[in-house]
Amino acid sequence: MNLLLKFGNGNSKLAPNIFTFSLPAGYACPGANNCKSQCVKTSEGYRIKDGPNCQFRCFASIDEVLKPAVREARWHNFNLLKGKTKAQMVALIQASLPYPNWKFMVRLHVSGDFFSQPYFDAWVEVARLNPQIIFYGYTKSLPFWIARLGSIPKNLRLSASLGGVHDRLMFVHNMKRALVVYSEAEAEDLGLEIDHDDSHVYDGTENFALLLHGTQPEGSEATKAWTALKKIGKGGYRNQKKGRGWGGKDYAGQPLPKNYGGGTPPPSGMLTVAHGWKGKRGTAPSTAGVTLTKKTLVSA
Ligand code: SF4
């Protein structure tokens, strides 16, 4: 069994040199509400189950139904993290980070969210330990973030995501927020730019919109909107220009190793810690006061 976390790299929306980290949609999202849907096992195979207040279906849960490897990787990560202390999670994430010495970005939670305060705090600590990496993502787990306002390192960049059970808090604390819209016209009416490549999360300071994505609950307003978006060629990222990459350079302008982000690890010597990507493992480091051993990786 792979004892390290699995990171993805690039997707149809993001540049290949942005790594991604995910957990199971709807299961690791305590703040989910209007977006909530889950991939559930039924006698007929894996199916989508919408939450009671689902208005726009979570695209990540659809992916889990369609792609077993995606579903398994997310559960692998969740099962490794659940029940661990903050220090154990920090050690595990540190050991699993791909290319820790290089300047790259990690998109947190293409699927899933911060599922507990210790887990949120673990990413805060990992960001502090890796100032060369930008970690960014959306969250509906606002109480965990609010509890640490004022102590978030500048390389951990978050946007509050509307449609959760804690929406009120983002207005109380004036947090930068993202809203799912059903059309480009709706975004324009609201005076919001639509984000296509996550740059509004890792770079922007203003509120922004995200265009509805994926098959939606039958008969819902979201279904009509999704059909209309597909008709005008806005349904999906496949034909869209990929997010800003760095053209073979890291975000500080330094050339990246050959094949960086293309599936081949850098030459030996460049890695100082193990990485879980493509199932490879190396020497585990000692971080945050915790010596990483097999035992600390698996123990609750
Ligand atoms: S919080 Fe994100 S991953 Fe979780 S159900 Fe909502 S949209 Fe999906």
Stretch 170-177: mean pLDDT: 90
Contact between 111 and 21 under an 8 Å Cβ cutoff? The reply is no
For residue 164, the Cα-to-chain-centroid distance in whole angstroms is: 16
In percent, the amount of the chain with pLDDT more than 90 equals 46
Q: Report pLDDT for 275.
A: 30
Closest atom of ligand 1 to CA, residue 61: 8
Give me ligand 1 centre to Cα 177, in Å: 15
Least trusted range by pLDDT, from 97-101, 153-157, 185-189, 269-273: 269-273
Query: What tens digit of pLDDT does each residue of 186-212 get?
Result: 888 888 899 988 888 888 889 988 888
Give the torsion sign (CA, 288, 290, 292, 295).
negative
* Between 271 and 228, the higher pLDDT residue: 228
Classified as helix, coil or strand, 74 is helix
- Averaged pLDDT score across all residues of the chain: 78
Q: What is the pLDDT of residue 61?
A: 95
Per-residue confidence (pLDDT) for residue 255, from 0 to 100: 54
8-state DSSP, 96: H
Q: What is the DSSP letter of 175?
A: -
The residues lining ligand 1, judged by C-beta closer than 6 Å to any ligand atom, are 25-26, 29, 32, 35-36, 58, 60, 111-113, 140
Q: What is the per-residue pLDDT for 57?
A: 84
Ligand 1 atom at shortest distance from the alpha carbon of 112:
3
Say how many Å lie between the CA of residue 112 and the centre of ligand 1.
6
Nearest residue (CA) to ligand 1, atom 1: 32
Per-residue confidence (pLDDT) for residue 253, from 0 to 100:
55
User: For 33, which DSSP code?
Assistant: S
* CB atoms inside a 10 Å sphere around CB 49: 14
Nearest CA-CA partner of 279 in 34, 3, 58:
3
Average pLDDT over residues 59-86: 95
pLDDT surpassing 50 at residue 225? yes
What does the pLDDT look like over 256-296, one tens digit per residue?
Answer: 444 333 333 333 333 222 232 222 323 333 333 333 332 32
The yes-or-no verdict on residue 43 having pLDDT over 50 is yes
How many angstroms does the Cα of residue 60 sit away from the middle of ligand 1?
7
Contact of 246 with 15, CB cutoff 8 Å: yes
| Phi, psi of 49, deg, nearest 5 | -120, 120
- Residues near 233 by beta carbon (within 8 Å), at least 6 away in sequence: 239
Distance CA 250, CA 248 (A): 7
- Residue 87 in contact with residue 298, Cβ under 8 Å? no
Residue 185, pLDDT > 90, answer no
Give the distance (Å) from ligand 1 centre to CA of residue 29: 6
Report how far residue 165's alpha carbon sits from residue 140's, in angstroms, rounded to the nearest whole number: 8
Half-sphere exposure of 17 (CA within 13 A, CB side): 22
User: pTM for this structure?
Assistant: 0.78
Higher per-residue confidence, 261 vs 25: 25
Q: Using CA of residue 107, residue 168, residue 174, residue 153, what is the dihedral sign?
A: negative
